[in-house]
Amino acid sequence: MTESTVILVLVIVTALGFDFTNGFHDTANAMATSIATGALRPKMAVALSGLLNLVGAFLSVEVALTVTNAVVNLQTSNGTPKESLTADGGVALLLIILAGLVGGIVWNLLTWLLGLPSSSSHALFGGLIGATVAGLGWAGVNWNGNGSKLDGVVGKVILPAFLSPVVAGIVAAAGTWLIYRAVVGAATKYTENGFRWGQIGSASLVSLAHGTNDAQKTMGVITLALLASGHWTSTSSIPFWVKVCCAVAISAGTYLGGWRIIRTLGKGLVEITSPQGMAAESASAAVILASSHLGFALSTTHVATGSILGSGVGKPGAQVRWRVAGRMVSAWLITLPAAGLVGAIMWYIGDALGGVAGAIAIFVILLAAAGYMYLRSRKEPVGHHNVNDEWDETTAPAERVPANTAG
């Protein structure tokens, strides 16, 4: 095997690892409310969501080759890698992608450990931006696009992050308010059953949309790596095995279920009822679908969180734990720079050691960090058995993890 083939294999494994974390990080977006209200048993909910993500990933045959173009200048506009980066068998480009992916995974695992629903796409983009800045300098980043359409870090990442939770929140609040007005006079016991079905249906739509949106990103990244190392030449299609691997990785991750995050979203923000759950998931599904249609890139996590908050605001007398919401928002704000920082450090380490040794070194660092965080998580396990326990601010997992693990 040549040098670039070895690195390529590491990139593919790491990319699938990222896809897997993306899956379990986002199970909560679709299923947290259904689990919290008891509309679906926890195991059933993650199985349904995993299956729908699998289906969704296969539906996304649209070529996502230019996914990195939104934030960095690694590719030309038709998807082929920049020639200056492929001179040495693609090693330069592969190292940037690998370092970026490691940044994304490390941040995803850390926020999972803290039970915080941060955006996986921000983590991926953040890691890639950091690694690109380290490798190519600030000019390698596409900050604003060329001004002709919504593009660049500002247009595709930062502005949507501020706007999409607000939009989702307004829709969910309106929906919740309308639903409660509509059923005045009917017995809650009777309506509950109907709303559970509504909740399951709307949550399923969110899962499906998630599979089509998020699996695509990893498919694009892997194909870019294959192009860079000369193992693939078409810019109008993606290798079928890449599609299969990404679909399986994201749905396996979803099925594993990020229980810590499910708990925060389902129990931590709002004590949610079935009508609120239905309103929140419907708002999420509608906003995600409408946005992808209009080319407005957004993070399913931001939308889902905004929707759940909105459903708390829209129900008269409901309690919203703004402290928990505040903690989430601060995690959102630092996701991009934090993942970027990890990505940049990884690139410097990889570059200093050079070639295969550098790539293997950062891969080992990733394994060590992942292993450490997994062991930390076992001290306060959250699973399908205790995901719905009463939320107590003082014993929430996020509160008990000492600050020194954040380094």
Residue 155 in the binding site for other proteins (CB under 8 A): yes
Per CB under 8 A, the list member of 291, 300, 301, 377 interacting with other proteins is 291
Binding to other proteins by CB under 8 A, coded x per residue (else -) over 31-60, reads -------------------------x--xx
Residue with Cβ nearer other proteins (54 or 387): 54
Looking at the DSSP bridge assignments, the partners of residue 320 are 270
Is residue 13 classed exposed, middle or buried when 0-12, 13-18 and 19+ CB atoms within 10 A define those classes? middle
Q: Which is nearer to other proteins, 22 or 284 (CB)?
A: 284
Q: Write the DSSP string, 323-379.
A: HHHHHHHHHHHHHHHHHHHHHHHHHHHHHHH-HHHHHHHHHHHHHHHHHHHHHHHHH
CB 387 within 8 Å of CB 262: yes
313 binds other proteins (CB under 8 A): no
Residue of 116, 133, 167, 308 that binds other proteins (CB under 8 A):
167
**If we measure between CA atoms, which residue out of 252, 316, 238, 315 comes closest to residue 280?**
315
Residue 212 engages other proteins in binding (rule: CB under 8 A): yes
CA distance 296 to 300: 12
Task: Examine residue 61 and tell whether it contacts other proteins (CB under 8 A).
Answer: yes
- Pick between residue 56 and residue 350 the one whose CB is nearest to other proteins: 56
Q: Which residue matches tokens 């295969």?
A: 356
* Per-residue binder mask for other proteins (CB under 8 A), 234-273, x = binder: ----------------------------------------
Q: How far apart are CA 179 and CA 303, in angstroms?
A: 20
- CA 309 – CA 14 distance, rounded (Å): 34
Given 29, 68, 120, 284, the residue binding other proteins (CB under 8 A): 284
Residues 6+ apart with CB under 8 A from 68: 74, 75, 128, 220, 221, 224
Among 150, 256, 333, 353, contact with other proteins (rule: CB under 8 A): 150
Query: By the criterion CB under 8 A, which residues form the site for other proteins?
Result: 56, 59-62, 144-145, 147-152, 154-155, 159-160, 163-164, 167-168, 170-172, 174-175, 178-179, 182-183, 185-187, 189-191, 194-195, 198, 201-202, 205, 208-209, 212, 275, 278-279, 282-287, 289-296
